[in-house]
Chain A
Amino acid sequence: MRVPILRQAKYLIASIQSALSDHELLQLRDDLMEQTGRYRARGVVVDVTALDVMDSFAARTLRSIGHLLNLRGADTVIVGIQPDVAISMVQLGLTLEGVPTALDLEEGLAYLDAQMG
């Protein structure tokens, strides 16, 4: 299943609804890269609220999505990491360095607004 990407003013919102295969994650990365360019998005929110597990590939991919989109001119924020997921990610050393995080979608959009000034 392709992850739906919504356009909201100058931001893109990708809301992951279920656990993704490695292929689907790469698809999400490519879709976001492409749409960021096409819609000239200034910010991207990736919402992972629905995920109750995150493996190392997913964490690495999310991190690289953050860095790649920064290079394309869009601030990227990961939102909605669940407490248990956060604990296991830290234990595995997957801490998404360099990528901002926020509690939920609302916080993520507020963060992007603050970045835009």
Chain B
Amino acid sequence: MSAQPNPHDPGRDADQTTALLRELVAHLRENRNQLREEWVRRIIDGKLLTGMTREEINAETTSIYDNYVEVLATGSVEALETYARNLSERIIPRGVETSEVVGMVLLLRDVLARSLFWKYQNDFELLNKVLDAYEPAANRIAVTVASSFVHERERTIRLQQEAIRELSTPVLQVRERLVILPIIGVLDSQRSRQLTEQLLRGIRATRAKVVVIDITGVPSVDSTAANHIVQTVEASRLMGATVIVTGLSSEVAQTLVTVGVELGKINALGDLQSGMEEAERLLGYRVTLDRSET
């Protein structure tokens, strides 16, 4: 039985790493103000975060610094992740770029590494070990902050896209049991699908019996978009609503005939006005002009 300690015992290595990290954290806490000021100076020299005032930079860097040291101390990035998301939410509207955020975190990493070089300059071996403990944690922090920022930005973009898409297909009720759906712009397949869904929900919500789809504002229609229109018409019928399509320009009509879309099922009329008149006729409305008003 050998009692010789194994120099590559992973448990012992881990213990040593923990001890070094503890020492490191103590060092960073001790020199907090000086290191943070050094960091802020380098951020300003590097012309990062130009959209923020000096006070804001001071406040944010203090929080980031404390979070950073906290991650080194506990090894858990969750709190930092939350903080980074909140930070991103605050600074994205002010036009802060991804490169600035990443640059800022990397600067902090460099400032702290420099201070470690300084502290352990006389003991190269110990410095190596300290860096072994420090570097993975520091890189993880940089990755966490950068990915939180990007994640938050993507979320904002997604929300905006959603909002634009919602706005792009209004289902408008113009009379009891009658809705119109004006389509403006290009009909790609995603928009067509969303349009169909919104229309069908609209039919259920308003209990519409007649739908007028006006495509005056659609510059061109390809066979996919045309098929989508046909499908929308059929799906609406399954929901018990009649569809009238209006505003087919002569170019669009020609394209449809050329690509051979089956248009027999579509009830088409020239313009929105005739579509509305036909819809009113189907629903039994009679609109009369009151002469006494004029």
Which residues of A are at the interface with B, using a C-beta cutoff of 8 A? 78-79, 81, 83-87, 89-91, 95-96, 101-104, 107-108
Contacts and interface: CB of A to CB of B under 8 A. Distances in A.
A86 B200 contact: yes
B238 A96 contact: yes
B217 interface: no
Nearest to B203: A103
A89 B235 contact: yes
B197 interface: yes
14 contacts: A81-B239, A81-B240, A83-B239, A86-B200, A86-B238, A90-B231, A90-B238, A91-B231, A101-B238, A101-B239, A103-B209, A103-B241, A104-B207, A104-B240
Given A95-B234, A103-B207, A87 B240 contact: no
Q: Which of B204, B235, B238 has most A Cβ within 10 Å? A: B238
Contacts of A96: 238
Interface of B: 193, 196-197, 200-201, 203-204, 207, 209, 231, 234-241
B183 to A, nearest CB: 17
B231 A103 contact: no
B240 A101 contact: yes
Given A90-B235, A90-B238, A91-B231, A103 B200 contact: no
A5 to B, nearest CB: 21
Nearest to B232: A90
Contact of A103 (B193, B196, B201, B204): B204
A55 B241 CA distance: 22
A101 B204 CA distance: 13
B266 to A, nearest CB: 13
